Amino acid sequence: MSETDGNVVREVAMMQMDRAERTVTQLVTMTEIAEFAEVRRPTVSNWRRRHPDFPNAVREEGQSALFDSAEIARWLDARPLPPTLLAGGDGERLATYGDVFRRGLELRSLGALRDTLHGDRLLAVALALTALRVLAGEPLTLDGVPDGIRHVANSGRSGEAQALARSLRELPDGIERLLDVVNALVLSAGGARAVERLLSQADRLGSANRQNATPEVVSDLVAALVGPMAGLTLLDPAAGLGSLLLRVAGVVTPAKVQAADVDEAKADLLRCRLICHGLPAEVRGVDALLDGLSAVADVVVVDPPFNPLDRRTNGVPLAAELSPWAEAAVRFLRPGGRAFLLVPLAALRSTPTRPGGLHPLAVDGTLRAVIQLPRRLHSFRVGVEFALLVYGSQPGEHRQLDDVLFCDADRYTATGVEGWVAEVAGWLSMPDAAPAAFTCRGQPRRSLVPADRLTDLRPAAFELARLREAQIALHRFEPELADLPVEPQTRGYRTVGELFTVLPGRKADDSRIRTNDPTGLPIIGVAELTGAVAVGSRSIGTLDLSDAAEVTYAGDVVVLAADKIRAMVDEAGGSIVQSPAQVIRIPGFVDYQQGRPDAQGRPREHPGMTPRVLAALLTAPRNAGRATGSLVRRVDLTRLVLPRLKTGEVVRLDEVLATIEESRRGAAEHLAAIERIQAALVAGVAEGALRVIVDNDGVSEEGS
């Protein structure tokens, strides 16, 4: 560090220390010490445990120790920043952790201004002052704000000047404190870091703007897919505060940046943020969906607004709500351009289609790729999964509908790999070399969810090879099963809701459920389906039910659709199914099984399905990937698809499954007998009660 730089560091540190000393003492927790000093929480615990001179807590509140912030700042002054942070090349001029702590503490103190300005207004003023300070190139004073705005307007930046004027009109008393913080932040950290630190305090200031920020990893993926943009134009027609636009532009360095948002206040915030980052851009406060934006770009990125609580917004399906954004993104493209649209995964499920059977988000065949993103990407929308849609075509290119590439990055990251962004971007740049386990091609019809597509399109040759391998292993034990003839084929599918009756389980008060009481109605619930208790061990009295008890029929299939699908056949019927378990009933099965004639007195036809086959198909691996939801995986049973099977095939498959069940029971009994003799032999020898006799004829045992 040069002598000049050292002087600057000391001047800034002294200015911050003087300002901190003039402030009324604030109390901070250990978590806040870590936050303001920008270290991990265990680091503060280590400081407190290993250094006897670490300040003592002023008082305890519950489980939290409270410390005097001034004492903590002085103690941290003795801890210099590592060279990597001291000379990070990002404009920082901080010497010690004490400097970092004071800066964070000052940002927290801005919350006191919420009594003067509400959260969104306070954030708008803070960002506008920061932008004006960056443009001025010197510390601001309140009296100098009007002249600063006029100077911006006279320099040919009328759009930015108008945004600053709107944000800084009629400033309330007490705003000097905010101006002090802004001047210090820009001086010590530079404009870009200053504005980002202010935005990081949006929650504390009472503003909800940060909650809609695009996850950084999504922006990184888009940037990797875009690549260098020398001489090209980047557009975001639903920019919000520009979290997606800024990060992508910072990587791909486009020649021109355009942005829009229907909310003029957010557009002003974005203008200020872009000023602080030194990114020239044309920003407009217009509704891009109402043709209020006449723009053409080489790359369009969109993270559109949507309602995360429902699959329908104002009665409109989510896919239909988002399709105008997809159409707008494509409309803004130059020939040969590409558009990227971030949508919730729920919008890709089966939905009313467009003419020709296309999904509403396919946009007339311009969809090129669908990337199912890893779950839990969003800090605020933790229960929502996302997908990235890629649009665009070359000029005059004749594209087939099955050219869409479906990529399951969620399944790929579940393997524990690192660096998935670069790998997934490589799949799109070289689709012919993309791994078949995580990608496939198909048409943009019905569900666009890659996990569904990969399950549906698993080649018959793969399944046949897997069966043959299993038959070879089984042949010496069960030749009949091993020689079962099968052949590959392509068949259609129908949903469970189309074929069967799905009934909900009923809520039952656990306090009223009895154990080993044969006088009540048997309960089948989560405990039975997961194997925690035996079927029939729990029951409930009819008087303990709130209304007439609806019991199962013989042959009903009881299903638990949670982290994975579990199913069992209620052979006897007469049970109460406890929610969240559900019942799938095969229409006409009981009448057929009991030989009841139809209304004309004729023998009933086979219902086309048996409970045993249905339960097996529901729990097959193809349905394991159907669950949705980032935190608790759920399955919509009515939307699961089953293959179309001929009645004769169902009957034969039922016979084979029955044979397998019998063989499994026999094998289990055989294994149990082996385990019992092993346990008895070892226990007898260990206790000294038995000895093994070795003679010419072999090994035997007897009492000693």
Judgement on whether residues 329 and 373 belong to the same structural domain of the protein? yes
CA dist 350 → 138, 146, 317, 486, 562 (Å): 57, 56, 11, 32, 20
Q: Are 500 and 510 in contact (CB under 8 A)?
A: no
pLDDT at residue number 117: 72
CA atoms of 156 and 42, how far apart (whole Å): 51
- 118 part of a folded domain: yes
Judgement on whether residues 155 and 48 belong to the same structural domain of the protein? yes
* CATH code of 601's domain: 3.90.220.20
Judgement on whether residues 569 and 547 belong to the same structural domain of the protein? yes
CA atoms of 536 and 42, how far apart (whole Å): 50
- 453 part of a folded domain: no
pLDDT at residue number 35: 85
pLDDT at residue number 377: 84
Domain carrying residue 12:
3-205
For residue 698, the number of C-alpha atoms closer than 13 Å in the C-beta half-sphere is: 2
CB count in 10 Å sphere of residue 675: 10
CA atoms of 450 and 441, how far apart (whole Å): 10
Nearest in space to 334 (alpha carbons), one of 291, 368, 299: 299
Dihedral (CA of 495, 496, 499, 504) sign? negative
- Return the residue matching tokens 């027609």: 237
How many structural domains comprise the chain?
5
Q: Are 132 and 148 in contact (CB under 8 A)?
A: yes
pLDDT at residue number 174: 73
CA atoms of 475 and 480, how far apart (whole Å): 8
Angle between helices 264-276 and 191-200 (to 10 degrees): 140
Judgement on whether residues 89 and 225 belong to the same structural domain of the protein? no
* Cα 386-390-393 angle, rounded to 5 deg: 165
Judgement on whether residues 289 and 436 belong to the same structural domain of the protein? yes
pTM, 2 dp: 0.64
Judgement on whether residues 306 and 420 belong to the same structural domain of the protein? yes
Judgement on whether residues 671 and 632 belong to the same structural domain of the protein? no
* CATH code of 382's domain: 3.40.50.150
- 246 part of a folded domain: yes
- 457 part of a folded domain: no
Question: What is the C-alpha radius of gyration for the chain, rounded to an integer number of angstroms?
Answer: 34
- 327 part of a folded domain: yes
- 454 part of a folded domain: no
pLDDT at residue number 316: 56
Judgement on whether residues 400 and 475 belong to the same structural domain of the protein? no
CA atoms of 242 and 236, how far apart (whole Å): 8
Residues of the chain scoring pLDDT < 70: 1-25, 84-94, 109, 111-116, 203-204, 206, 208-211, 291-292, 307-316, 350-356, 393-402, 455-462, 490-491, 546-549, 563, 624-635, 695-704
Runs of H (alpha helix) within 277-406: 318-331
Nearest in space to 340 (alpha carbons), one of 418, 420, 245: 245
- 456 part of a folded domain: no
Nearest in space to 391 (alpha carbons), one of 462, 463, 325, 305: 325
pLDDT at residue number 524: 93
CA atoms of 182 and 176, how far apart (whole Å): 10
Write down which residue in 641, 664, 694 finishes a domain.
641
- 219 part of a folded domain: yes
pLDDT at residue number 445: 79
Write down which residue in 413, 447, 481 finishes a domain.
447
Judgement on whether residues 510 and 590 belong to the same structural domain of the protein? yes
Write down which residue in 138, 172, 205 finishes a domain.
205
Judgement on whether residues 239 and 367 belong to the same structural domain of the protein? yes
pLDDT at residue number 681: 92
Residues 6+ apart with CB under 8 A from 436: none
pLDDT at residue number 20: 43
Report pLDDT digits (tens) over 558-612: 999 876 789 999 999 999 999 899 999 999 999 998 888 888 888 889 999 999 9
Burial of 185 (0-12, 13-18, 19+ CB in 10 A): buried
Q: Show the beta-strand stretches assigned E in 122-213.
A: none
Judgement on whether residues 59 and 72 belong to the same structural domain of the protein? yes
Judgement on whether residues 478 and 514 belong to the same structural domain of the protein? no
pLDDT at residue number 426: 94
